[in-house]
Chain A
Amino acid sequence: MYITLIFLGLIMATIITWLLRQTFNTQPWVTEAADDAVSGTSLDTNTKAVALTVFLAVATSVFALFISAYTIRMEAPDWRPIAEPTLLWANTVILVLASVAYHWTRNAAVKGIESRVRPGLTVSGALTVLFLLGQLVAWRQLNAAGYYLDLNPANAFFYLLTAVHGLHMLGGLWVWARSTMKVWTGADSDSVRLSIELCTVYWHFLLLVWIVLFGMLLST
């Protein structure tokens, strides 16, 4: 559980430090004109960006807990490591490219370069779908090689972790599909700019998670 504790420790420390900074040196019982002028918005950013940040904290918690469970279960004598398919390297590269493509699209949307948004979104989505298909193929390869889900916890964890990561990816694709539909039906990039910006963050996050998971799978 150390890994979870470290991740959650960092998250909680950030929250607590921030909250304490808001609350030290205040005397709420004194009516101060300076306080009256304070707007009720704590963070100088979009509401949806705040919600995404909170959601990323939740997702971090989920993955950290899976990783903790993995490291604890790994120590039992029945653990037989699997030989990860080489295909996973190719999938990783595709996911990196998807992230890069999303970032490129984001830059275009922010700068208002309309011509780059449509192809950018299309390429990002296509690469992501390709990644997911690649993961499915990796499953089939493992299954064909006799690494069945119920044969060993190492196998089970492989299918489980990749599935959970893939499901998060699918959730992202849902939002991607909505903004892509909008753009293809003629909306200007400004109306989807926020969605693209937030998706970019989400794609980078899931890339980071995948690299951590892949590294863990490879090294154990």
Chain B
Amino acid sequence: MKVRILVSFKDSVLDPQGQTVKNALHTLGYRAIKDVRQGKVFEIDLAGATKADAEKIIPEISDKVLANPIIEKFTWQIIEA
């Protein structure tokens, strides 16, 4: 099973990298872009795991390792059964 985890800054945390990307896009004329938030994507291959296994493991490793809960949040989805 393959799982995709998206880690990004919490809304309350300033994201200077996202801001810089937004400014660059504005410079290129994409004025409609209101905000950009930059994050990290992890694609994880879980050998022989069931959906229930993923539901246990993924939030655990996201909280413990992949994201820093003080500044970041995460979402995840199964991309390959």
Q: A and B from one assembly?
A: no
| A residues with CB within 8 A of B | none
